[in-house]
Amino acid sequence: MEFKEAKNKFVQTWGALGSQWGINKTMAQIHALLMVSHEPVSMEDIMEELQISRGNASMNLRALMDWGIVYKEYKAGERREFFTAEKDLDELAVKISRERSKREIKPALKVLKEVSSIQSDNTEAEKHFVDQTTKLYDFVLKADNVLDKITEYKDNWLAKLVVKIMK
C-alpha cells in the first residue's frame, strides 16, 4: 500500500467510525485529514481532497472548531485561512469527552432526575419506574463524574488508568 492509498483509507475509516458514533461523516473525515497532515491545510485543499462543497467544508470546520479540536491558523502574507487539528490524543479525548458530557449527558441527567422524582403511588408499575430511573440517574451521574475526574489528569490519563486497572 502506498501513501496516498493509506491516507485515503484512514480518512474513510475515521469517517465511518464517526457515523457509527453519531458524528457526521464529513466532520470526521475533515478531522482525520487534518490529524495526519503535517502542515496546516486550506479550505480549498480540504474541498479538493474530500470532494465536498465549499458550504459543507465551512460548516463542518466551524463545528470542529466549536468542539475545540480544530484550530484556525493564519500564515504571514497569506489571505486565506488554514486549519490544523489537535494532534495530542490525550487532549483530543479530553475535549471530546467534555463536549459530549456537556451537550448530551448533562441534559439527559436533568431529565432523569425530573422523571425519577414523581411521587409514586402505590402501584407496582410506578414503584418500579421510580426505582429504575433513580438507579439509572445514579449510574450515569457516577460515570459522568469519573469522566470528569479522569480528564482532569489531562496528561496521559489513559496510561495512568492502565496502571491502576491492570495492576
Under the rule (CB under 8 A), what is the footprint of a copy of itself? Answer: 1-3, 6-7, 9-10, 13-14, 17, 19-22, 35-38, 87, 89, 93, 103-104, 108, 111-112, 114-115, 118, 120-121, 124-129, 132-133, 135-136, 139, 142-143, 145-146, 149-150, 158-159, 161-162, 164-166
* 80 belongs to the binding site for DNA (CB under 7 A): yes
CA-nearest of 138, 69, 146 to 101 is 146
Which residue(s) pair with 4 in the sheet?
none
- DSSP-derived letter for residue 67 is T
C-alpha cell at 147: 469522566
- Smallest gap from residue 54 Cβ to a copy of itself (A): 25
Q: Which residues contact 148 (CB under 8 A, 6 or more apart)?
A: 101
- DSSP-derived letter for residue 75 is -
Site stretch for DNA (CB under 7 A), options 48-56, 92-100, 108-116, 139-147: 48-56
Q: In this chain, which of 55, 152, 165, 167 binds DNA, going by CB under 7 A?
A: 55
Q: Which residues contact 45 (CB under 8 A, 6 or more apart)?
A: none
- Binding partner of residue 51 among DNA, a copy of itself, none, CB cut-off 5 to 8 Å per kind: DNA
* 98 belongs to the binding site for DNA (CB under 7 A): no
Residue 29 CB coordination number (10 Å)? 24
Site stretch for DNA (CB under 7 A), options 3-11, 43-51, 104-112, 155-163: 43-51
Count of residues in contact with DNA, rule CB under 7 A: 23
| Residue 156 Cα distances to 48, 72, 86, 160, 162, angstroms | 35, 25, 15, 6, 10
